[in-house]
Amino acid sequence: MPTDASMNCMAISNLLKLSVELADVSDSPRLDVEIILSYVLGKDRAHLYTWPNQILSSLEQTRFNELLRCRVNGEPVAYIIKRREFWSLPLKVSPVTIIPRPETELLIEKALSLPLDQQISVLDLGTGTGAIALALASEKPFWEIIAVDLEFGAVALAEENRQQFGFDNVKICQSNWFSNLKEIQFDLIVSNPPYLCLKDKHLQEGDVRFEPLSALVANDSGLADIHTVVFDSYLHLKPGGWLLLEHGHSQGKEVRQKMIQAGFSGTETFIDLSGLDRVSVCFKAEL
């Protein structure tokens, strides 16, 4: 094994073999090591295959060892490298909120397919990293988007992400759902609220163990925040306005019932790539 004896520094090709250490914690051990190593070296993954004999500096080796240890302990790769791509946007992530999920891109697709004007007002409730608001802003530069989160840490993170892309049509602020939004009314409200039940077994598995419960769990079998968002959204939507919600795969029927109870029309649920109920939509009928 080509190492620098004085510092125990290893070559890229040998570091990649350490993926065996992740066999028990990851479905993609090789990829995880490649991503961590690329992050430490500040290079893309192609570099690892172009320069397999490159030996790390002692600083790089120490950092790699630390980060690999974090991954062996189960920490999500996205938290380790502080990045996750969503809708082709490289977002900064941190444990103040959840790591954006690929399923949430369904909500973006559906929002973009609604019959909406070029210039509308949009609200993203529980923005986290800003994923939904920023993805919409990247596609719709004339939409005026407000994004709120209860957690000040998430608000700061979303603002950092907003600034890195320079989206001037997005405003991020702290709010307990609608508490700081006064009487403002919107053309479109989108949200991926907490929707897991505290007893949900997924909370004990994989990456989710490292994400904040405040972003994942809601009372009333996971439906309490959905209830608040649905009923309060009715008051904050203009006539003809739309509500799009992400929810758990077993919650489609209950979400549609709540939408109808709140006064909405045109309820429909869409399935994600796994064939599971994931996003529901409705609109507030014109008077």
Q: Taking CB under 6 A as the rule, does residue 98 contact ligand SAM? A: yes
Closer of 86 and 283 to ligand SAM (Cβ)? 86
Helical segments of 99-192, H only: 104-113, 131-139, 152-165
How big is the CA angle at 214 (ends 203 and 109), to the nearest 5 degrees?
A: 80
* 171-210 footprint of ligand SAM as x/- string (CB under 6 A): -----xx--------------xxx----------------
Task: Report yes or no: 128 and 97 within 8 Å, Cβ to Cβ.
Answer: yes
Closer of 38 and 94 to ligand SAM (Cβ)? 94
Q: Taking CB under 6 A as the rule, does residue 222 contact ligand SAM? A: no
Judged by CB under 6 A, the residue of 214, 231, 238, 270 near ligand SAM is 214
Nearest alpha-carbon partner for 101 in 125, 76, 81, 72: 76
Query: Which residues between 6 and 35 bind ligand SAM (CB under 6 A)?
Result: none
Output b/e per residue, 203-222; b: 16+ Cβ within 10 A.
eeeebbebbbeebbbbeebb
CB atoms within 10 A of CB 75: 17
Choose one: 77-85, 95-103, 134-142, 230-238; the region binding ligand SAM (CB under 6 A). Answer: 95-103
Task: Report yes or no: 266 and 208 within 8 Å, Cβ to Cβ.
Answer: no
* 122-151 footprint of ligand SAM as x/- string (CB under 6 A): ----xxxx-xx---------------xxxx
* Residue ranges that bind ligand SAM, judged by CB under 6 A: 97-98, 100, 104, 126-129, 131-132, 148-151, 154, 176-177, 192-194, 214-215, 225
